[in-house]
């Protein structure tokens, strides 16, 4: 029995670079030597970097019989001759060590130490490799479904990844064996083991999906300036092209929506608005409010606010379901957007809801603001049934609010 045979399993099948493996093997066996002999100064540990074979040699100076003063560094002439007849006094004696020289217990301990070191190196390797891949999309198979998370086996590396339920899109439903895509959001060490966390709600997931579907983005001809999302509901993406010959919106959407449809399906029918980025903030806000058509707009750059006026039939489009459209438009542009109804007579006066605090209770005003209505006209622009449905206010309360607000403009 020799070292190569006993530890051969550590030479193959490990995703560790050879110099690191050599260093670990040498360190483990030098520790074995120190435990038996008290020092490893007069020992050579040789690891063949090509084959992975390992040898240990004890090196001592040959001295005349009876003159050995240090057993670690010296060997008597008679003992040296028993190793090799050709040895002479004054030469160095090389004696090869085998596992039998250390005893079964020491070898088992060394074996456990080596296994532990290799496992730690593999964990470090997994951590570093996935840290370099943060922001990339991975595809894996669902292996286990837990209460707060789903475990996924990476199709490429067979490593276990974690998809927390908080990082899943509303409407996501997976069974064991299903294939799932997600973006690597972060990598962290837990109890000494790497945890690779996936996300399907992160903006980076949509960005990478667009890169995969739109070659012009991957080639750098189109740049994604900003993405804002309500995962599973709506998203807005601002894009810009540095080539006047390329329509960035058209390229992202594709012929008859061919490029965007696959992404929409992946995101559980998330409504994705692609808009042209521009430094003209008034124009950018108008584009951000798509699909609503804006009649006019005034921008206050100092307070980062914008007042947008629309025809009555465009107000609900601008606000969107549960206020999603106007909220995302505000996030995309960085401006607080107030929507006003542009009446046929051209009247553009409006009153902030807070001005009615003496007639309407604060919690009712807050409920109206929650659905994107900050002014009297923005409330009046909505249908009674839509206000009841979206705000969860009682019918009597909504009727009273509409009466109070309508009275403000009767004159």
If asked whether residues 10 and 124 sit together in one domain, one would say: yes
Residues 83 and 160 in one domain: no
Specify if 68 maps to a domain. Answer: yes
The CA-CA-CA angle for residues 255, 244, 282, to 5°, reads 90
Residue entry with tokens 């595809």: 139
pLDDT band at 278 (very low <50, low <70, confident <90, very high): very high
Q: Which of 228, 258, 277 is the last residue of a domain?
A: 277
Q: Give the phi and the psi of residue 100 in degrees, each rounded to 5.
A: -60, -25
Length of the chain: 411
User: 42: domain range?
Assistant: 3-129
Average pLDDT over residues 190-215: 95
Mean pLDDT for the chain overall: 88
Same domain membership, residue 209 and residue 169:
no
Residues 181 and 237 in one domain: no
pLDDT, position 3: 44
Final residue of a structural domain among 65, 99, 129 = 129
Query: What pLDDT sits at residue 16?
Result: 64
Q: Six-digit token pair at 263?
A: 């992404």
Same domain, 153 and 224: no
125, 50: one domain: yes
d(CA 187, CA 194): 7
Q: Does 44 share its domain with 161?
A: no
Weakest mean pLDDT among 323-327, 333-337, 348-352: 348-352
Write down the pTM of the prediction. Answer: 0.66
State the SS3 of the chain.
Answer: CCHHHHCHHHCCCCCCCHHHHHHHHHHHHHHHHHHHHCCCCCEEEEECCCCCCEEEEEEEEEECCCCCCCCCCEEEHHHHHHHCCCCCCCCEEEEECCHHHCCHHHHHHHHHHHHHHHHHHHHHHHHHHHHCCCCCEEEEEEEEECCCEEEEEECCCCCEEEEEHHHCCCCCCCCCCCEEEEEEEEEEEECCEEEEEEECCCHHHHHHHHHHHCHHHHCCCEEEEEEEEECCCEEEEEEEECCCCCCHHHHHHCHHHHHHHHHHHHCCCCEEEEEECCCCHHHHHHHHCCCCCEEEEEEECCCCEEEEEECHHHHHHHHCHHHHHHHHHHHHHCCEEEEEECCCCCCCCCCEHHHHCCCCCHHHHHHHHHCCCCEHHHHHCCCHHHHHHHHCCCHHHHHHHHHHHHHHCCC
**Do residues 189 and 214 both lie within one domain?**
no
With respect to residue 164, please indicate whether it lies within any of the assigned structural domains: yes
CATH code assigned at 208: 3.30.300.20
User: Measured between alpha carbons, how far is 102 from 15 in angstroms, rounded to an integer?
Assistant: 29
In degrees, rounded to 5, the angle at the alpha carbon of residue 386 between the alpha carbons of residues 337 and 352 is: 35
Q: Is residue 62 part of a domain?
A: yes
Contact 115, 123 (CB under 8 A): no
Q: CATH number for the domain including 121?
A: 3.30.1480
The answer to whether residue 400 sits within a structural domain is no
For residue 61, is it within any domain?
A: yes
Asked whether 14 and 122 are in contact (CB, 8 A), the reply is yes
Each residue's pLDDT tens digit, 167-202 = 999 889 999 999 999 999 999 998 888 999 999 999
Question: Residue range 231-256: average pLDDT?
Answer: 93
Of 129, 158, 181, which marks where a domain is finished? 129
Chain center to CA of 130: 10
Per the CB < 8 A criterion, the answer to whether 398 and 388 are in contact is: yes
Q: Which of 66-70, 320-324, 326-330 shows the highest mean pLDDT?
A: 326-330
- Domain for residue 350, yes or no? no
Q: Which among 56, 58, 53, 80 has a CA at the least distance from the CA of 67?
A: 80
- Residue 1: pLDDT band (50, 70, 90) is very low
- Inside any domain, residue 351: no
Residue in this structure with the two tokens 């008034």, named with its chain if needed: 282
* 332, 238 contact by CB (below 8 A): yes
Verify that 17 and 120 share a domain, yes or no.
yes
The answer to whether residues 153 and 182 belong to one domain is yes
User: What count of other Cβ atoms lies within 10 Å of the Cβ of residue 386?
Assistant: 15
Contacts of 219 (CB under 8 A, 6+ apart): none
**Res. 15: pLDDT tops 70:** no
d(CA 90, CA 118): 41
Total structural domains within the chain: 3
356 inside domain: no
Give the position of tokens 């028993």: 82
**Residues contacting residue 411 through CB under 8 Å, at least 6 positions apart:** none
In the beta sheet, which residues pair with residue 176? none
Q: Are residues 140 and 186 in the same domain?
A: yes
257 and 178 inside one domain: no
Name residues whose C-beta falls within 8 Å of residue 396's C-beta, 6 or more positions apart in sequence.
Answer: none
CATH code of 169's domain: 2.40.50.140
pLDDT at residue number 14: 55
């Amino acid at each position: 029995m020799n070292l190569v045979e006993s530890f051969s399993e550590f030479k193959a099948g490990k995703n560790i670079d050879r110099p690191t493996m050599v260093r670990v093997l040498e360190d483990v066996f030098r520790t074995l030597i120190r435990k038996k002999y008290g020092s490893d100064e007069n020992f050579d540990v040789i690891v063949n970097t090509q084959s992975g074979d390992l040898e240990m040699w004890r090196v001592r100076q040959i001295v005349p019989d009876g003159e050995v003063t240090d057993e670690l560094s010296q060997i008597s002439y008679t003992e040296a001759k028993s190793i090799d007849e050709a040895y002479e006094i004054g030469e160095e004696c090389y004696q090869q060590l085998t596992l039998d020289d250390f005893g079964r217990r020491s070898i088992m301990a060394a074996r456990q130490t080596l296994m532990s070191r290799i496992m730690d190196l593999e964990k470090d390797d997994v951590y570093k490799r996935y840290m370099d891949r943060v922001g990339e999309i991975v595809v894996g198979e669902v292996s286990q479904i837990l209460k707060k998370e789903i475990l996924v086996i990476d199709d490429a590396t067979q490593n276990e990844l974690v998809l927390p339920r908080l990082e899943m899109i509303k409407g996501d439903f997976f069974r064991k064996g299903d294939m799932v895509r997600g973006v690597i959001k972060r990598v962290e060490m837990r109890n000494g083991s790497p945890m690779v966390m996936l996300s399907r709600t992160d903006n980076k997931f949509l960005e990478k999906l667009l890169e995969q579907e739109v070659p012009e983005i991957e080639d750098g001809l189109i740049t994604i300036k900003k993405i804002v999302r309500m995962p599973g509901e709506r998203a807005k993406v601002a894009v810009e092209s540095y080539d006047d010959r390329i329509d960035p919106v058209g390229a992202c959407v594709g012929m008859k929506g061919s490029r965007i449809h696959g992404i929409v399906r992946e995101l559980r029918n998330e409504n994705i608005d692609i808009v042209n980025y521009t430094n003209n903030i008034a124009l950018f806000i108008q584009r951000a409010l798509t699909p609503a058509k804006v009649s006019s707009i005034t921008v206050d750059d100092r307070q980062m606010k914008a007042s947008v006026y629309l025809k009555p039939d465009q107000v609900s489009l601008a606000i969107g379901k549960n206020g999603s459209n106007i909220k995302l438009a505000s996030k995309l542009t960085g401006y607080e957007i107030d929507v006003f109804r542009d009446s046929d007579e051209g009247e553009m006066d409006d009153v902030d809801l807070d001005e009615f605090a003496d007639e309407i209770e604060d919690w009712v005003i807050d409920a109206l603001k929650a659905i994107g209505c900050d002014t009297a006209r923005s409330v009046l622009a909505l249908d009674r049934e839509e206000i009841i449905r979206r705000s969860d206010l009682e019918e009597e309360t909504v009727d009273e609010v509409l009466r109070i607000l309508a009275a403000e403009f009767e004159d």
